Amino acid sequence: MQEPSKVIPMDRARAQETALAREAALGDQQAFAQLVRANEGALYRIAWAMLGSDADSCDAVQDAILRAWVSLPGLREPQWFRTWLIRILINECRQMLRRRKRTAPMPDAELGGPSGFSDEALDVRRAIRLLPEDQRMVTVLFYFDDFSVEMIARSLQMAEGTVKSRLHAARAKLKRILEVDEP
């Protein structure tokens, strides 16, 4: 079977994001806010994939936003703002996981958000949680945020081939758990 791959051309949205990133790097808070809000979904899902809990995700994202703002003048490639922001968030999440390990081991991460998820939603979430962390991250970026393999590779700092094999493994596992019989 062919590995999924998407090509996101340097389209207008991307060009706009790049322009905003440049402005933000120059100190434009509104441009930065616009960029962060545009990527809110991806930030949330990555934090959730790594931390599993809504409360921790909130903390991590909050720290990541501040850190991104502070280190924005060092942004080398504004066209890759999105993947850069996600890398910062990933680092925040890793720190949080380390701290968590040092203090008390958390019980199994809550799967839902604060409240009100259907059983089905919880089932799917649980299935995603069953994946190893790297497969989980690849999955959310690919399926929920429409990241190209290249962008995932940049975000997670792994080779594109690795992204593809992780995706492949994740798909197989998810299909088995969720009993999807997609060709």
Partner 1 sequence: MNTLKNTLDRADLHPSRTFQARVDGALARLPRRSGRGKAPFFRRRGPLIALACLLILAVALPVTLNRLRQSEMDKILPPGVYTAMTAGDPEPEADAEGTMSITAETEPPALEPDDVVAVDDLSARADLPQAWRNILLLGTDSRDMTKIGRSDTIIITSVNVGTGEIKFTSVMRDAVVELPRHGAQKINSATYFGGVELMMKTLNENLGMNITEFAVVNFEGLARMIDALGGIEADVTQAEMDVINRHIGEIAQFTMDQQAYLDNKAKLQLQSFGKSTLLTGIQAVTYARIRELDNDYARTDRQKAVLSGMFARVKRASLSQLMQMAASCWGQIATNVSMPDAVNLAQSALKGDGQIGSTKLPAKGTYTLEDRAGGSALWDVDYPENTQLLHAFIYGSRAP
Which residues lie near partner 1 (CB under 8 A)? 19, 22, 25-27, 29, 32-33, 36-37, 40-41, 43-45, 48, 54-55, 57-59, 61-62, 65-66, 69-70, 72-76, 78, 113-114, 117-118, 120-121, 124-125, 128, 139-140, 143-144, 171, 174-175, 178, 180-182
Contacts of 122 (CB under 8 A, 6+ apart): 111, 112
Shortest distance in whole angstroms from residue 81 CB to partner 1: 10
Shortest distance in whole angstroms from residue 28 CB to partner 1: 8
Contact 78, 22 (CB under 8 A): yes
Instruction: Name which of 76 and 102 has its Cβ closer to partner 1.
Output: 76
Contacts of 70 (CB under 8 A, 6+ apart): none
CA 25-31-35 angle, 5° bins: 95
Rounded CA gap, 40 and 43, in Å? 5
Shortest distance in whole angstroms from residue 139 CB to partner 1: 7
